[in-house]
Amino acid sequence: MLTERASGLLLHPTSIPTRFGIGDLGPRAYEFVEWLGSAGQRYWQVLPLCPADAGGSPYQSASSYAGNPLLISPELLARDGLVTVEELAAAELPDTESASKVDFALANARKGRLLEQAVERFHGQAVTGQWSEELHQFVDEHRHWVEAHALFMAAREANHNLPWQLWTRYSDLKPPMIPSELAARFAVHLVFQFLFFRQWQQLRDHARNLGIRIVGDIPIYVSHDSADVWANRHLFQLDAKGNSTRVAGVPPDYFAATGQLWNNPLYDWQAMEADGYAWWIRRLKASLALVDYVRLDHFRGFEAFWSVPAGEPTAMNGEWVPGPRDSLLQAFANSLRSSTSDRPNVPIIAEDLGMITDEVHALRQRFGLPGMKVLQFMLPGESWDNTRPEDFDANSVVYTGTHDNDTSLGWFREKIMPHPDLLARLRNYVPCEESRFPWEFIEFAWRCGSNLAIAPLQDVLSLDSSARMNTPGTSGDQSTNWRWKYLPGVLTDELRNRLADLTRLTHRC
């Protein structure tokens, strides 16, 4: 439950400019956090920190527990003596190749070599004891997932990176069964995770010292080609060969006329309930070890989810199926209850967007979970639910837009300006001057009754549609999804002071 007025910004670490073509957890991330704090902001919201797919999406990952090795900072590796100055220079990308968009393939190639060099040096130093104790402590603490993840990654590499259902070797391995020929790559992936978690916790500690809380993100579903499914097949709706029988998606909505076919395998909720939702509880606790709050993506799916027969070309021919509802959320609450409190504060923000029913709202409210208000979806006269913005439920988070929305300037130009009736309606709330609109919208959000207000950094920078992070339902080689980065030098003192002044004026300090 959110009890104090505050504000923050949404920015994924990959969007931080660095010398290496992709954002990371190094010096530039520390600079961003310090700028955020000096601007009076108390929250930093990120997307899932797990490994991204080939297109850069953190919502289709090889693991819901693991960290993305591409976020490891080369500069911090150099500080720790794990890479040389020459190796650091070889991993840099020219400004023309790394300015405003992430090139995941190129960054992975350059940085991948550097990370391998760091791991080789790490093992050499571990022999002398420098890293050995820390690594063993990390593996012991994360054993419930990290060994399965490292084994899955090593086995996938040995099977030419094919989906695990197509593997010709190692498909049924489980730790501690580590074939000798996989041992070296298994060890490499363990160290990748150690390095990521070490750097992330140092950055999080720095944010905490500045009074900044971090909001993470738990996607409701996991990728079929993941250690999660490979190691827990009995918890998913799969056939004997490991193929999905039913898959996830959403019916036609604001984003897509034929719905969105996500193709993630659906959970076998009966099997999960049988062991007290142990897998989900471990997943929630693992996330909360990294962040202070989690945005529970597609909360609607816990009340009822859209189930599509595997093999369908679109999501249109699905059906609503009851979800785990109160039993799962009560299991969450019980797992977080401390010895000093009978009523735990469940640090979850429910992403209750889209086709939301009264039953979904009631489920969220029974557990005191804050919901989301996205101003781009709430144009006056459409879905304000007869509630003025200043009267929004205090236990909610208001956004100008999310990572799935256009920037506020892009939205205003495309969706509002060409339509005089919409423009007239919006002018009842903000002046709608094009050059000032992103900040008008931020001020509007900051004045709302929601205790937490968040804006994407793109809106603070007044950027147009070219800075959009993701367009749902689109992918492919030409996609620009997940690639946006801000340019060095744009986080100015003027912007910091403007944001700090607005935050004080709206009593969010």
**What is each CA distance from 220 to 217, 297, 298, in whole angstroms?**
9, 5, 6
What are the percentages of helix, strand and coil residues in the chain, rounded to 5? 45, 10, 45
Q: Can you tell me the distance from the alpha carbon of 506 to that of 441, in angstroms, rounded to the nearest whole number? A: 14
Residue 456: its H or E element: strand 452-456
User: Quick check: helix, strand or coil at residue 350?
Assistant: strand
Query: What does the pLDDT read at residue 95?
Result: 62
Residue 250: its H or E element: strand 246-250
Interval 114-127 mean pLDDT? 92
Instruction: Find the radius of gyration of the CA atoms of the chain.
Output: 23
Half-sphere exposure of 113 (CA within 13 A, CB side): 14
> Going by C-beta distance under 8 Å and a sequence separation of 6 or more, which residues neighbour residue 308?
246, 247, 248, 249, 261, 315, 317, 318
Reported as a single tens digit per residue, the pLDDT across 206-219 is 999 999 999 999 99
Is the Cβ–Cβ distance between 189 and 225 less than 8 Å?
no
Q: Can you tell me the distance from the alpha carbon of 361 to that of 353, in angstroms, rounded to the nearest whole number? A: 11
Query: What does the pLDDT read at residue 469?
Result: 97
pLDDT above 50 (res 340): no
Q: Can you tell me the distance from the alpha carbon of 43 to that of 508, in angstroms, rounded to the nearest whole number? A: 11
Q: Tokens standing for 267?
A: 């959970």
Reported as a single tens digit per residue, the pLDDT across 260-272 is 899 999 999 999 9
Reported as a single tens digit per residue, the pLDDT across 57-96 is 999 999 999 999 999 999 999 999 999 999 999 999 876 5
User: Quick check: helix, strand or coil at residue 105?
Assistant: helix
Query: What does the pLDDT read at residue 478?
Result: 54
Reported as a single tens digit per residue, the pLDDT across 283-310 is 999 999 999 999 999 999 999 999 999 9
**What is each CA distance from 412 to 420, 431, 441, 470, 473, in whole angstroms?**
12, 12, 10, 17, 21
pTM for the whole thing? 0.95
Reported as a single tens digit per residue, the pLDDT across 428-465 is 899 999 999 999 999 999 999 999 999 999 999 999 99
Pairing of strands 396-399, 319-322: unpaired
Query: What does the pLDDT read at residue 476?
Result: 58
Domain 6-144+198-231+267-307+323-505 sits in CATH 3.20.20.80: yes
pLDDT band per the 50, 70, 90 thresholds, residue 343: low
> Going by C-beta distance under 8 Å and a sequence separation of 6 or more, which residues neighbour residue 267?
235, 236, 237
pLDDT above 70 (res 199): yes
> Going by C-beta distance under 8 Å and a sequence separation of 6 or more, which residues neighbour residue 445?
375, 398, 399, 400, 453, 454, 455
Q: Can you tell me the distance from the alpha carbon of 286 to that of 190, in angstroms, rounded to the nearest whole number? A: 16
Q: Can you tell me the distance from the alpha carbon of 401 to that of 456, in angstroms, rounded to the nearest whole number? A: 7
pLDDT band per the 50, 70, 90 thresholds, residue 339: very low
Q: Which residues are catalytic?
A: 297, 351, 404
Percent of the chain with pLDDT over 90: 84
User: Quick check: helix, strand or coil at residue 285?
Assistant: helix
> Going by C-beta distance under 8 Å and a sequence separation of 6 or more, which residues neighbour residue 386?
none
User: Quick check: helix, strand or coil at residue 159?
Assistant: coil
Q: Can you tell me the distance from the alpha carbon of 99 to that of 267, in angstroms, rounded to the nearest whole number? A: 40
Three-class SS of 363-383: HHHHCCCCEEEEHHHCCCCCC
How high does pLDDT run on average in the chain? Answer: 93
What b/e sequence results for 118-149 when a residue is b if at least 16 CB atoms lie within 10 Å of its CB, and e otherwise?
bbebbbeebeeeebeeebeebeeebeebbbbb
Is the Cβ–Cβ distance between 88 and 221 less than 8 Å?
no
Is the Cβ–Cβ distance between 308 and 246 less than 8 Å?
yes
